[in-house]
Amino acid sequence: MSTSKKKAHGKNPHMAMSKQHLIYLTIADPSLPWQHRSDMARELFNHVNPETEPIVRAILDDVGKQSAQAVSEEKARQLDAILKGLQEGPMRGAVFIEMLPSQGGSAPVALVILDDGTEAYAIVPNEDMLAAFRLGDRVVLDGKGRVLLRRAASALHTGEVARLERRIDGRHIEASLRAGAERAVYLAAPVLIDQIKAGQVSPGAALIVSPRRSLALTAIPAEDKLSHYRFLERGPVPDVQVDRDIGAPPRCIDEVARHVRMELEQPELRRRYRLRRCCTKLLCGASGTGKSLAIAAIHRRLYEIMSEAIGRPIDQLPPRVFRIRASQILSMWLGESEKNWQRAMDEALQLADETFTAADGRTIKLPVLIVLEEVDGIGRVRGHEAIHDRILTTVLQSLDPGRLELADRLVVVLATTNEPQLVDPALLRRVGGAIEHFSRLRRRSFVAVLEKLTRGLPAISNNGCTQQELWEGHIQDLAAWFFSPNGSDPGLVELTFAGSTTPVIKYRRDFLTGALVDAAVQQAAAEASQAELESGEPLGITLEQMLRAFDAQLRGIAGQLKEQNVGSFTDLPDGARVAMLRRIPQPAHLSFEYHRNADPAKSARSTGPGVTACGDAGRGPGLQNGSSR
């Protein structure tokens, strides 16, 4: 068959393959213009036919092979880097100290201190970095600690807090980690040296040091903001109103309020009489006699006076109360207790110096209240425990009213104690500018306290009496139950004192405190609320519930009494020691009876148990001849 016939019957496959190969090579040839190659590829991919399809397939297959090969090569490089890192170990951190003098063209060597405190000499391969390193800089070494790679991104200012004693030279300082501890010499970072030269840091300032690396890094800013006051109380002002909440308010509340008001409104009058601005008081009394309630009332009264003075609401006034407890002051470390106490006093005096602008533009210094709870914990009589003896001298110096730092500032110091005989006499004189004794309740104060605690509480009634009339009757009945000399009180305990054979009986009234009355009212109210819940009808508190509550409280006290602790629950003669205590058996049931006159009209007004008739105080046994004691 002739050539012309072959062409007529079909194409030459070798020529087709040669043409496809030529097109592929043309598109892949980087020496040709990019635009020309792009046009050919676009024409090829836009008009795919049986003739061009093998070329398109070949191009796509080649691209896929190249992509897979690139990914494989990248993964291999990453794996090699990981294996190399595992062989060399992780990079290490260190602190740069200094460069060593070069010797005979050898590579530069730097002295560094590793994080474990070990000294190391690392080669610096890049001489361009030498000028960037300074003492104390954080640097990165290789895994074996032989080569200094680079400077860390940021410095780490962490470590222990020390006290600066003095600067020795341009590179060294002397510091102590704790008060009274031995001093040590540290290398000082240039930042710290610059602070000392500029006068920003003086002896006594707090520093960040690394004892393991013998390096002092920088100074800590002074604690001069409100958030740094460790002993400042930031809670809400107590909602304690004297007229509303305290039945028999002690004199100290009005005395402190009057002192502060005069200092804020007429300070020149007090200066004329050379009166000190500070005020100290000691509140003595058994537990539950109202010391804490009196302090809360003074706290509230001071804020009311400050609110009037600067024309701002109470809830917008800054915190001004320091509450210092023995647990916050005493420390097992030598010297730390004195340091804690001095810090507490320094904070109070610093806060007392802050000025505020009143609504009328006047600048004014507001009072500061310092509450020393259970002062016998930090001011015990010397000679018992060494820790108290150490701190007592510092406490006495700080609380001396004649000390200029305290006398010239409007600071009110209120100290409390249940055991005044345990307080050192010198401290009693310091904080006892005026001593307020909190005693157990007598008849008048018992009635006043009970009136305040029951005000607003519902009392059960089915005879038309008003709530006020009901409570007046109940309170008089309870007062007669406690204080009537003709009543049926057999007494709680019988005491026999050492050296005496005559026993002394302690009655219910001898154990009365404000805390006991409050607990009894709470117990009666809880019983009444439970009864109302079970009945589903509005009821109220009955006299029987009050009597049962008081009786339960007193029986609980009697069960705790021993010869050693009876003085904590009732008053004893000075110097008396209880040699024997006998509990007096109590009746199984309360026998409170109403004494009525023979007038049938009055007798008819008693309509049920515990219900007091209107116009009659519901007199109990001996109420007519009741003693006010």
pLDDT digits (tens, 9 = 90+) for 422-449: 888 888 888 876 788 999 999 999 999 9
The pLDDT of 612-626, averaged and rounded, is 42
Q: Using CA atoms, how far apart are residues 60 and 570, in angstroms rounded to an integer? A: 103
- Token duo for residue 348: 């109070």
Asked which of 27-31, 367-371, 571-575 is least confident by mean pLDDT, the reply is 27-31
This prediction's pTM: 0.67
pLDDT in tens, 395-405: 998 998 888 88
pLDDT at 6: 42
pLDDT in tens, 500-510: 999 999 999 99
Inter-helix orientation angle 467-483/443-454, to 10°? 150
pLDDT in tens, 37-69: 777 777 777 777 777 777 777 777 776 666 667
pLDDT at 158: 81
Q: Is 579 helix (H, G, I), strand (E, B) or coil?
A: strand
pLDDT at 435: 83
Percent of the chain with pLDDT over 90: 43
Q: What domains lie within the chain, and their CATH numbers?
A: 14-86 (no CATH), 92-151 (2.40.50), 160-222 (2.40.50.140), 232-438 (3.40.50.300), 443-625 (no CATH)
pLDDT at 574: 85
- For 586-606, the three-class secondary structure string (H helix, E strand, C coil) is CCCCCCCCCCCCCCHHHHCCC
Residue at token pair 């790679």:
149
The pLDDT of 119-147, averaged and rounded, is 86
Q: How confident is the model at residue 610 (pLDDT cuts 50, 70, 90)?
A: very low
- Token duo for residue 571: 């008053």
Are 439 and 285 a contacting pair, CB within 8 Å? yes
Where is pLDDT greater, at 338 or 334? 338
pLDDT at 227: 55
Q: If you count them, how many residues does the chain have?
A: 629
Question: Letter for the amino acid at 468?
Answer: Q
- With 90 as the cut, is the pLDDT of residue 250 above it? yes
Q: Is 593 exposed, middle or buried (0-12, 13-18, 19+ CB in 10 A)?
A: exposed
pLDDT at 629: 36
pLDDT at 300: 96
Distance separating the N- and C-terminal Cα atoms of the chain: 151
Q: How many CB atoms lie within 10 A of CB 294?
A: 27
Cα 68–Cα 20–Cα 37 angle in degrees, nearest 5: 70
Cα of 236 vs its chain's centroid, Å: 13
pLDDT at 361: 86
Are 462 and 608 a contacting pair, CB within 8 Å? yes
For the chain, give the mean pLDDT: 83
The pLDDT of 21-42, averaged and rounded, is 74
pLDDT at 571: 92
Q: How many CB atoms lie within 10 A of CB 302?
A: 23
Quick one: DSSP state of residue 330? -
- With 80 as the cut, is the pLDDT of residue 474 above it? yes
The pLDDT of 473-497, averaged and rounded, is 89
Where is pLDDT greater, at 294 or 178? 294
Residue at token pair 């157990």:
440
Closest-CA residue to 436 (of 284, 566, 309, 261): 284
The pLDDT of 385-399, averaged and rounded, is 83
Strand partners, 183: 176
Inter-helix orientation angle 53-88/34-46, to 10°? 120
Q: Using CA atoms, how far apart are residues 423 and 418, in angstroms rounded to an integer? A: 10
Q: How many CB atoms lie within 10 A of CB 92?
A: 20
- With 70 as the cut, is the pLDDT of residue 83 above it? no
